[in-house]
Structure 1
């Protein structure tokens, strides 16, 4: 990186997308002092100014990606919807023309990008228990089968998704099941995605069980708050009775 006329530049504005449409409207406030990173030929970081603007200059020729910092613990906002004015995806990663399918940005000494903007919306997350599935009808003592519970996020932002499946005495947990990373603790299978899952995702946590004695109880699937407040915690628990001979 030498003088300004020997490298490319990438600049943009960080703003609060109040109406959540991905468009930077004239009346929407900017966000100052927000960290943006440029990654490729080393890692460089800048903060947005009082006007919400950030700028990388004197960029040597090469392929680069940008990253807009996570604000969830600062002000409970999340990256807005990409594809319009915001060039960063729902996880804060930026790509060529704001399109993840186009890969990194190729910068030359003639590159001048002035609108690589990053928008943030107020996160509203609704984690909820979705369904309980028992794979064997009318099980008997000695049977082996699977039980699954599913949880989802119907909010407007990606969120850590977790689920705890609790089983009654008489069902011995032989192994974990389902797509959610999990571990067994007593009569529970506890699952969690540390990385945030897209709004609308539904994930399963489950167990392979054996019936070792008569059962008269309930199966429970429960989810708990992640990074953001849960706007409707009343739908976080689902139960289903189970009775076996």
Structure 2
């Protein structure tokens, strides 16, 4: 079992939304191969409501960090609208192989599916694909290991966008078995973490901003790049 106590992963709670720190290695929804999913643990987060909360957006199985849950149908619809309209601000931390020579920039590369098979989630850069934009900033470097710590802000929300964009730039995310050089077994795990999530959910209030602590499988690499804490 990947999740022993889902309540310990609760980062934020109000009448409409919960934000949890999703662990790496746990898919949000059931897949064709079965196995443990986040959905199986959500009944513990009802807090008196008749139905369990539901995820308002997606994180890959191997991505950790901030995941928003709508507590009921109306809340979920409002959250879905925020994400669909690009109003939810997300920042990810990533450890990449190599890294850019500059300190900040943008990746503007359209993305499309590699295959016409609707079951395939693998993506590729394709000028005829959907417009996709990622902003990035260097947070630290580890010259000895040849790695860089990046803050990635996806302006669009395409499938595998950050992973494909980083790989296309020549600095794939460490531990990526699909778009990088990581082995299928025994690798370090995908070094991608949804660090912050800002949700402008209430018109007359500041955006709800939530931060997820650095996950255990990334801390050593982040510290080598200069992370002091958290």
Under a length normalisation based on structure 2, what TM-score does the superposition of the two structures give?
Answer: 0.25
Higher strand fraction: Structure 1 or Structure 2? 1
- Choose 1 or 2 for highest CA Rg: 1
Higher helix fraction: Structure 1 or Structure 2? 2
